[in-house]
Amino acid sequence: MQSNLSMVVRKLLFVIIYCLIGLLTENSFAADTTVVKDLSHDWFFYDKSSKSYLPLVSRSLFKENTVHFDIAPAQYSNSLLKITSDKPLSVFINNNIVDIVAIEAYYSLDSLSRAYKDPILHIALYNKNLNIFSISAEVIRMMPSRPIPLVENVIVIKPRGENLFQNFMVGGLIVIAAFLAALYNYFPRTLTDFFKASKALSLRESDENLIKSRPLNQVNLLFYLYLSFLIALVLIFISNAGNIHMETSLFYPRSFLDGMWKWAKLSLILFGWFIAKLLLVSNMSALFRLGNFSVSHFINYMRLTLFIFTIGLLIIIFSYYGFEILSPAYYKGVLNVIFVFMGLRVLILFFKLLSTASYKILHLFSYLCGTEVIPFVMLLYLGLNQPF
């Protein structure tokens, strides 16, 4: 088993390194930028006491969470609006949210001029804890860095447009597929047991010594790690495609390497939650004197979670890459559906545990409140309200 685990790790590392080299060398040409105008000199803010907009004169005295500026896109042809921030920043154009900037974002002013009929656009930048010293807004012009002479003429090679988030998602999907293939190659029986829909959706408990005998053995830990990476990738994609505002920048990659690093950090956080979940279930099971419920409960929890987010990832892949659905509202709806199925997961676990032994319904419900219902309500509150 040790040799199998080491071979899995080596193959995964090879695939990750291969993806990094391929995606980082995708663009052969760079581009130089020229700052046309620094828009921070035109910033203003809304003063509640005077109920009017005032120019931002002193940044050190600025205590608001929104900054405004106007721009006439037709005056800056072949130029880009560049917005940077060290924290996620909501961007509003004419009082409608259009994007959430994570570190850095570029907008074609020619495209904005065609998309909006108004000759002057009103742009607002918002963050709950806005740091005025850490944001910037500039009009820049991209210049090709390498003209290539051919005979007597000079041909300017313009760099191909690069979508950093697309690069990250493709790399992430390759890593997920390689991880799953390695698990299937070395641990087919365990993989089959985890992906059995009949056992996941059945309301009766079954005896599964293979995966329930030792929930923290090395093979099961690999499956928990795979699930962590899967959930993290789904959450990062939905946050970006659905324009969902998160206060933390962990969900918004600003480059391929940065995306891989943030994905790994978010996955490790989720992996830590799964271990904490096992400890919580074990302690609550002992507290309510429910016997050996903890392992069965935890494995069923992981299996149902695996099904929910695997189906979620497949929906995302077919919708985004197959049917090219780009509507943010659609992916917000996908997230809401995932939340609904996570709620149904609690009911399935309740009936599974109810069929295991003749405990009182109130007894089991109290146990599930501590292990499932309360954590799920906290997840909904933190995920939907972002109070921090």
Q: Whose structure tokens read 């120019």? A: 55
Looking at residue 159, its pLDDT comes to 46
In the prediction, which pLDDT does 11 show?
56
- CA nearest to 250, candidates 234, 239, 262, 260: 262
Give the pLDDT mean for 186-205: 74
Confidence bin at 46 (pLDDT 50/70/90): confident
pLDDT tens profile 101-153 = 877 888 888 888 888 878 888 999 988 878 888 888 888 886 655 544 444 44
Q: Give the pLDDT confidence score for residue 357 in this predicted structure.
A: 59
Residue 252 · residue 88 · CB < 8 Å: yes
Predicted pLDDT at 292? 65
Confidence of residue 29 (pLDDT cuts 50, 70, 90): very low
Alpha-carbon distance 360 to 358, whole Å?
7
Read off the pLDDT of each residue in 355-363 and give the average, rounded to a whole number.
65
Q: Phi and psi of 190, rounded to 5°?
A: -65, -40
DSSP state string for 321-368:
IIS----HHHHHHHHHHHHHHHHHHHHHHHHHHHHHS---HHHHHHHH
What share of the chain in percent tops pLDDT 90?
A: 10
Taking the C-alpha atoms of residue 106 and residue 115, their distance in angstroms, rounded to an integer, is: 16
pLDDT for the residue 211: 55
- Mean residue pLDDT across the chain: 77
Helix axes 328-356, 374-385, angle to 10 degrees: 170
pLDDT in tens, 289-338: 766 667 778 888 888 888 999 999 999 999 888 888 878 888 888 888 89
Using a pLDDT cut of 70, give the percent of the chain over it. 75
Query: Any idea which of 61-70, 122-131, 195-204 has the lowest mean pLDDT?
Result: 195-204
**Dist. CA 61–CA 44, nearest whole Å:** 13
CA-wise closest residue to 124 among 52, 46, 47: 46
Q: What is the pTM of this model?
A: 0.62
Task: Write the pLDDT tens digit of every residue in 333-356.
Answer: 888 889 888 888 888 887 777 776
Structure tokens at 208: 């599964």
Q: Which distant-in-sequence residues (6+ apart) come within 8 Å of 97 by Cβ? A: 90, 91, 243
Contact 333, 242 (CB under 8 A): no
Q: Which one-letter amino acid corresponds to residue 308?
A: I
What pLDDT does residue 166 have? Answer: 80
DSSP state of 159: P
DSSP letters for 27-81: ----EEEEEEEEGGGG-EEEETTTTEEEE---GGG---SEEEEEE-GGGSTT-EE
Please indicate whether residue 229 or residue 244 has the higher confidence score (pLDDT). Answer: 229
Average pLDDT over residues 193-220: 67
The pLDDT confidence band at residue 176, using thresholds 50, 70 and 90, is very high
The answer to whether 283 and 289 are in contact (CB under 8 A) is no
3-state secondary structure 164-209: HHHHHHHHHHHHHHHHHHHHHHHCHHHHHHHCCHHHHHCCCCCCCH
Average pLDDT of the residues in 72-82: 85
Nearest to 102 by CA among 283, 1, 236, 291: 236
On the question of pLDDT at 210 being above 50, the answer is no
pLDDT higher than threshold 90 for residue 59: no
Chain segment 244-290, per-residue pLDDT in tens: 767 677 787 877 888 889 999 999 999 999 998 888 888 877 777 76
* pLDDT on residue 17: 57
d(CA 374, CA 329): 28
